Amino acid sequence: GPAETIKTKTTKDLAKALAFYETFEVRLGLMLVGETETCQTTCLRALSNGLYNIHKGASEGKSE
Question: Is 2 part of any domain?
Answer: no
Question: Is 53 part of any domain?
Answer: yes
Question: Is 50 part of any domain?
Answer: yes
**How many domains does the chain divide into?**
1
- pLDDT higher than 70, residue 5: no
Question: Is 48 part of any domain?
Answer: yes
**C-beta of residue 35 within 8 angstroms of C-beta of residue 26:** no
Q: What percent of the chain has pLDDT over 70?
A: 81
- Beta-strand ranges (E) seen in 1-64 are none
Question: Is 62 part of any domain?
Answer: no
Q: Which residue has the higher pLDDT, 26 or 9?
A: 26
Amino acid in the structure at residue 64: E
Question: Is 49 part of any domain?
Answer: yes
Question: Is 21 part of any domain?
Answer: no
Range of the domain at 45: 10-15+39-57
Question: Is 5 part of any domain?
Answer: no
What are the CA-CA distances from residue 49 to residues 34, 35, 63 (Å)? 21, 23, 16
